[in-house]
Structure 1
Amino acid sequence: MTADSVRWGILATGGIAASFTADLVDLPDAEVVAVASRSEDSARAFAERFGIPRAYGTWDALARDTDVDVVYVATPHAAHRAAAGLCLEAGRDVLCEKAFTLNVREAEELVALARQHDRFLMEAMWMYCNPLIRRLTALVADGAIGEVRGVRADFGLAGPFPPAHRLRDPAQGGGALLDLGVYPVSFAQLLLGEPDGITASAVLSDEGVDLQTGAVLSWESGALATLHCSLVGATGTTASVTGSLGRIDIPEGFFHPERLVLHRAGRDPEEFVPGPADGPRSTLKHEAREVMRALRAGEKESPLVPLAGTLAVMRTLDAVRERIGVRYPGEAPGGRPEADLTGDRAPA
């Protein structure tokens, strides 16, 4: 890092990489200095689009660029373990898109690599960095709605997605759960922690990935979360948190909200909206600012998106997949590698 800016590298050139880079170039203390793709032509086109000085046709070249402080990994999640691991081993700090990995085994490997190489690592769960989501968690923590009894959240897209699309490709970690369901699960666990019980049901595609999944998470406190994700129907992307004394609703876009509504008995509903300094809801700048704050503070993980929370979400996603029968190539039940079935490797 320089005194004025944090130097970013972008690994992959798809839509989410473009959205994140567009937000980065608007931040005065961020400098995008390099981009990499498996296609040199794609990397060059991306670099020209955003005025990035260096474009690489391999991930390794970016990972070994010592002028890069932190790499944003924006590949499909099936490649997160390989891409983020390469960067960590080369001494780069990493912000890795969600779902963090295909399974908890891979996630644990990345966390171990970050600690082995003394590197910063964070899942790009931008929802956790959103000012209104932070306000919601503060309201809950302050007892505004009493003890949390229930959480509900949904995220669905209309589709239809053809069989060749990455969202239906098992080799790319396809299915509604890892792409969309990670948000409802992360929302519930932000408020209640890792569940004690999990039930789930799904409709699977001919390729063996989930087209839509419903899950109920339960906690020993008596709290329940009802969660839904879909690739075959556009949902309202709404969420609510119900407590013993009231309820907080997110009327739309719960993972990047523009308003919250607090309901309490005997009082008028109270609305919360972003403050003047918060900026628009649909921005990835909040997570970029959090990464740069943590790097300047010398932190190896973010308190807003702690690695323990990321691992807990991955355990839940693995458990849901085991219950609905979705398994990716090379996996045994529960996200373990096939070698576990023969005793060649201890279960994660």
Structure 2
Amino acid sequence: MSAGLRWGVLGAGGIARQFAEDLRSDGLGLQAVGSRTREGAERFSTQLGGIASVYGSYQALVEAPEVDVVYVATPHPLHAEHALLALRAGKHVLVEKPFALNAAQARAVVAEARARGLVVLEAMWTRFLPHMVRLRELVADGALGEVMTLVADHSQQLSADPTHRIQDPALGGGALLDLGVYPVSFAWDLFGAPLTIDSRSVPTATGVDRQTAVVLAYPGGAQAVLHTALDLAGRNDAVVLGTDARVEIAPTWYAPSTLRVVRPDGTVLEEFDGRGPGRGMQYQARELERLVREGHQESPVLPPGESIAVMETLDEVRRQIGLAYPGE
């Protein structure tokens, strides 16, 4: 185990297990798990081969003196509530994407973290993957010329069961917040704030979005063409087009992947392999640990203000397509 932070995992579902596996395989300090019930936390611990501290409530987890940072991995509508719970207990927080259910909740979380001098980071793990780091370097170095277009899709064939969380409005279901947040965040990373947002969508029988297309337009004529669907198995590749070259990111672009830099005449200038061990969720954990170790509160890769801005974009898309969640 590293001499870094001691991590507590809040939530005991599939994404929490994947994160915990990557955390442990990278030598980072998996210290505790908290679930709604003691049984759920103990089952999670057993699946991971044993975790030192097991708690049967979220409150007990965030108050645990042996926990330095909390990873929030509960359903979307609970992200803000549980991030605030951890922050008010004096813990740094890594909160699963989407950062919150809406921008108002996101602003409340960020304000609390800033007031308490704590780190809060959105677990948009894609931002921290090696191939995305390399893409930002290529753009910054001018290797692509003027970057004009992003085309990115995140489409999966998920459960059609109307009681499944992806189909449930009460759990923030639909393609947009679960899957579409990835390409929207990618567009923000590449281009920043859009001038205009145009969205089209098709609903499921339960009233969440089945598939959604978004076009973001930027100063100088740049565009991001984004698509997401919850019942279609897409290629899940992405391409960034510049005047001098393009970057092709192989499926699955939002997970550890490879990229190629290709000139307009087809000449391949570079091939980069960013694949590595595990699912790749350890890189975001390393970034949070770096921030704490070096005394920084906000990551330049994904500052909290940008997580709020991504949520504002998602709010506008939902307004355009008529997708509202109970209790908002």
Q: What's the TM-score, normalizing by structure 2?
A: 0.96
- Are residues 1:213 and 2:212 paired? yes
Deviation (angstroms), 1:230: 0.2
Which residue number corresponds to residue 313 of structure 2?
Answer: 316
Secondary structure in 2 matching 1:127:
helix
Which residue number corresponds to residue 27 of structure 1?
Answer: 26
Which residue number corresponds to residue 282 of structure 2?
Answer: 285
Deviation (angstroms), 1:221: 1.8
Residues 22, 278 of structure 2: 8 Å contact kept = no
**Identical pairs, percent:** 45
Deviation (angstroms), 1:213: 0.3
Question: Residues of 2 paired with 1:217 and 1:147: CA distance?
Answer: 17
Structure 1: stretches of 5+ with no match in the other structure: 332-348
Which residue number corresponds to residue 196 of structure 1?
Answer: 195
Secondary structure in 1 matching 2:221:
coil
- Are residues 1:57 and 2:56 paired? yes
Q: How large is the Cα RMSD of the aligned pairs?
A: 1.6
Q: What's the TM-score, normalizing by structure 1?
A: 0.90
Q: 2:323 is matched by which residue type in structure 1?
A: V
Q: 1:40 is matched by which residue type in structure 2?
A: R
Secondary structure in 2 matching 1:221:
helix
Deviation (angstroms), 1:257: 4.0
Structure 2: stretches of 5+ with no match in the other structure: none
Which residue number corresponds to residue 13 of structure 1?
Answer: 12
Secondary structure in 1 matching 2:86:
helix
Question: Residues of 1 paired with 2:311 and 2:39: CA distance?
Answer: 34
How many residue pairs match? The answer is: 327
Residues 257, 281 of structure 1: 8 Å contact kept = no
The 5-angstrom pairing of residues 92-107 of structure 1 reads 92-107=91-106
The 5-angstrom pairing of residues 1-348 of structure 1 reads 4-28=3-27, 30-50=28-48, 51-266=50-265, 268-274=267-273, 279-280=276-277, 282-331=279-328
Q: 1:208 is matched by which residue type in structure 2?
A: G
Question: Residues of 2 paired with 1:220 and 1:303: CA distance?
Answer: 22
Q: Given the superposition, is the C-alpha separation of residues 3 and 268 from structure 1 closer, same or farther in structure 2, using an over 3 Å criterion?
A: closer
Question: Residues of 2 paired with 1:233 and 1:122: CA distance?
Answer: 30
* 1:146-205 alpha-carbon deviations (Å, 9 max, x no partner): 111111000111234211000011111000000000001011111000111001010112
Question: Residues of 2 paired with 1:312 and 1:184: CA distance?
Answer: 14
Residues 70, 92 of structure 1: 8 Å contact kept = yes
* 1:252-285 alpha-carbon deviations (Å, 9 max, x no partner): 111124211111135621343236xx73473211
Deviation (angstroms), 1:246: 1.8
Question: Residues of 1 paired with 2:278 and 2:195: CA distance?
Answer: 32
Secondary structure in 1 matching 2:261:
strand
Q: 1:49 is matched by which residue type in structure 2?
A: Q
Residues 201, 321 of structure 2: 8 Å contact kept = yes
Question: Residues of 2 paired with 1:267 and 1:253: CA distance?
Answer: 22
Secondary structure in 1 matching 2:162:
coil
Residues 259, 272 of structure 2: 8 Å contact kept = yes
Question: Residues of 2 paired with 1:64 and 1:257: CA distance?
Answer: 34
Question: Residues of 1 paired with 2:61 and 2:114: CA distance?
Answer: 21
Bigger drift between 153-162 and 181-190 goes to: 153-162
Residues 259, 271 of structure 1: 8 Å contact kept = no
Question: Residues of 2 paired with 1:107 and 1:263: CA distance?
Answer: 38
Q: 2:290 is matched by which residue type in structure 1?
A: R
Question: Residues of 2 paired with 1:77 and 1:282: CA distance?
Answer: 21
Secondary structure in 2 matching 1:328:
coil
Question: Residues of 1 paired with 2:315 and 2:230: CA distance?
Answer: 19
